[in-house]
């Protein structure tokens, strides 16, 4: 018993100060991409062709990026060509799929739920997590939110064991053909009104497996999504930031 107390003293108090204090991330962390202006049409074309996941396209005002498709690759070929660079900005979550796309500085972060939903879920949100062919990175970094540093429960958010106890689904993975019906059945088991959160590039648009005949390219065509959290996997702070925005806490 004494040794437990002694160890507890050594380990100290580790709960993080987020959201009151901004987190310190690695200087190599890759956050929201900034598109560079002044590229020739040919350079833009090259950049669009270079992304293996089709995250870039030609917009009216130059390049356009879709964060639902972006994997924030360390060796992003478009970045190597000078078309974009990664900032340290971890705030990425949006409410609508179209908000994930931008061509200038304006990026519309997630709004809070409407008044009725906030009244229901604002102080207590129970989520059922469904991994639908997620690679266990998204899952692991959502699990991390339960550890004492992030301490998700202090915000009234909790992962629960049954869809019957849940207010919504937190979905990861590109939704394999073999998980499709289990996902839809789990959704059906959640009582109304309910939320759907797509966490990670796979759940949003199929991620690295987009186009495989065995995946559905994410949740989009199957269920109505209320919150998109980009990243491969999203940093836990990105996910937490998104959840707090949804609940009107940021």
Q: Which helix (H) or strand (E) holds 9?
A: helix 2-11
What DSSP assignment string belongs to 200-226?
SHHHHH-GGGTT-TTB-SSSTTTS--S
3-state secondary structure 145-168: HHCCCCCHHHHCEEECCCHHHCCE
For residue 187, what are its two tokens? Answer: 């959704």
Supply 160's token pair.
Answer: 């629960």
Of 207-236, binders to another protein (CB under 8 A) are: 207-209, 211-215, 232-233, 235-236
Q: Please, which residue, 100 or 166, has the CB nearer to another protein? A: 166
Q: Which is nearer to another protein, 10 or 20 (CB)?
A: 10
- Spatial distance between the Cα atoms of 195 and 248, rounded to a whole number of angstroms: 15
CA atoms within 13 A on the CB side of 157: 27
| Binding residues for another protein restricted to 69-88, rule: CB under 8 A | 71, 73-75, 77
**% helix, strand, coil for the chain, step of 5:** 35, 15, 50
Tell whether residue 13 is a contact of another protein (CB under 8 A). no
Residues 36-65 that bind another protein (CB under 8 A): 52-53
Which of 112, 144 has the CB closer to another protein? 144
Per-position x/- string for 137-176, each x denoting binding to another protein as judged by CB under 8 A, each - no binding: xxxxxxxx-xxxx---------x-xxx---------xx-x
User: Which residues, 114 to 143, sit near another protein by CB under 8 A?
Assistant: 128-143
- The token duo for 132 is 């639908």
- The CB-of-111 to another protein minimum distance in angstroms stands at 26
Binding site for another protein (CB under 8 A): 3-4, 7-8, 10-11, 14, 25-26, 28-30, 52-53, 71, 73-75, 77, 128-144, 146-149, 159, 161-163, 173-174, 176-179, 182, 186, 202, 207-209, 211-215, 232-233, 235-236
């Amino acid at each position: 018993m004494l040794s437990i107390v002694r160890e507890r003293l050594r380990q100290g108090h580790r709960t993080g100060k987020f959201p009151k204090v901004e987190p310190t991330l690695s200087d190599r962390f890759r956050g929201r991409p900034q598109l560079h202006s002044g590229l020739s049409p040919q350079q833009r074309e090259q950049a669009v062709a270079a992304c293996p996941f089709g995250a870039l396209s030609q917009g009216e005002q130059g390049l356009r990026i879709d964060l639902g498709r972006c994997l924030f690759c360390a060796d992003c070929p478009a970045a190597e060509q000078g078309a974009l660079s990664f900032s340290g900005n971890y705030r990425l979550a949006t409410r609508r799929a179209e908000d994930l796309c931008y061509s200038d500085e304006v990026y519309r972060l997630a709004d809070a739920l409407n008044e009725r939903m906030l009244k229901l879920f604002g102080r207590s949100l129970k989520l059922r997590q469904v991994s639908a062919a997620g690679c266990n990175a998204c899952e692991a970094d959502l699990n991390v939110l339960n550890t004492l540093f992030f301490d998700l429960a202090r915000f009234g958010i909790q992962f629960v064991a049954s869809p019957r106890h849940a207010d919504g689904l937190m979905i990861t993975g590109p939704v394999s053909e073999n998980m499709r019906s289990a996902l839809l059945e789990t959704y059906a088991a959640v009582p109304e009104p309910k939320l759907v959160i797509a966490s990670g590039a796979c759940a949003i648009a199929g991620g690295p497996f987009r186009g495989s005949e065995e995946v559905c390219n994410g949740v989009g065509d199957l269920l109505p999504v209320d919150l998109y959290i980009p990243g491969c996997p999203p940093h836990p702070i990105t996910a937490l930031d998104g959840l707090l925005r949804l609940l009107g806490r940021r």
